Amino acid sequence: MLGNGIIRSNGQLWAHQRKIIAPEFFMDKVKGMVGLMVESTVPLLKKWEAAIDAKGGLATEINVDDDFRSFSADVIARACFGSSYVKGKQIFSKLRTMRTTITKQGFLFGHNSSRFLPNNKKVSTLEREVELLIWETVNQRQQECLDKSSGQKDLMQLILESAVNDASVAPQKFIVDNCKNIYFAGHESTAITASWCLMLLALHPEWQSHIRQEVAKVFTNGLPDADSISRLKMVTMVIQETMRLYPAGAFVTREALEETRIGNILVPKGVCMWTVIPTLHRDPDIWGPDANEFKPERFINGVSKACKSPQGYIPFGLGTRLCLGKNFAMVQLKVLLALIVSKFTFSLSPSYRHSPVFRMLVEPEHGVYIQIQKL
């Protein structure tokens, strides 16, 4: 699924990949992407407006999940790769099919043997198709680089150059693995978090009002820019609380490379430790007796004041392996939520069935359905 890209690699290979990828997601660069994030949101807003108009302006039921996937796919493709949206959409669709096929096998902790994979042939076929599509995109990007010289290089160009110049890695595998990692992490997790955000806001209309009031004060001409996006405190609190209750990543895993003591526990060398993030995020000893309630105001003074230990909140991981796309994901979610809430009011549809399910990421099993109206 992910090969040996930035998410799964260790040691020198991981450090090498991080050196290439991390600078592309520093906040100064992410702020420069706000405009394209707004442009990627516009088709979604128009689609929903058209659906409401078709119902004569009455409340309309919408399944948000596919629209959020299309939005995040568009953003990640345009921001990092300059690839065509159509080819990017094909890659995302096949990666999603591969992910759901793998996670239907009924195993959790990742057996490598093919005997645990009844649909191993289907997975292998999808893997080849994904790699072919990514390589076609890479070749297209190489041609674009040749056709027009630019002083500013995007992420795809940097990965290409690194793969070609580093004799210690196989260029095609290096490029394909990292593209899969970035597509997967930058696309799926953000779209799923956006769906959970809409579900919780639909249940708590008072927070829709808080966001609406904030957007009216902060945005010039009703649209976000690099400066205003950082002043969206209410939006940030809602996203943080959503990721506390429904973190896209279910686990943080670590292997003890030597015998290690954690508190009173002695961890032998070679043992893998799994931290279950949803359990940690709902622990009453860390968050208080209201740990299972949606209360964004707990983050009003930041993460350090929201719980007894800031290490108890890890939607993006922690330490040196902190998610490289944290800034990118947060800004993307702020743009999307602020524009949706400023144009629509919505409630949860009777069609919605609450069933969080683990499929490598924690997602709504039956999708998120809302009843939506224009303001």
Binding residues for heme: 323
Copy the structure tokens of residue 361: 């990421």
How many whole angstroms separate alpha carbon 42 and alpha carbon 279?
36
Q: Could you tell me which of 322, 315, 359 has the C-alpha nearest to residue 101?
A: 359
Q: Checking DSSP bridges between strand 344-348 and strand 369-374, what pairing results, if any? A: antiparallel
The answer to whether 342 and 212 have CB atoms below 8 angstroms apart is yes
How many whole angstroms separate alpha carbon 11 and alpha carbon 307?
33
How many whole angstroms separate alpha carbon 94 and alpha carbon 97?
5
356 membership: H or E segment, kind and range: strand 356-358
The residues that bridge with 251 in the sheet, in sequence order, are 276
How many whole angstroms separate alpha carbon 19 and alpha carbon 12?
11
CB-based burial of residue 284 (10 Å sphere; 0-12 exposed, 13-18 middle, 19+ buried)? exposed
- Tell me the residue length of the chain: 375
Residues 6+ apart with CB under 8 A from 279: none
How many whole angstroms separate alpha carbon 302 and alpha carbon 132?
44
Residues 6+ apart with CB under 8 A from 280: 286, 312, 314
How many whole angstroms separate alpha carbon 67 and alpha carbon 60?
15
The residues that bridge with 63 in the sheet, in sequence order, are 369
Binding-site positions read 323
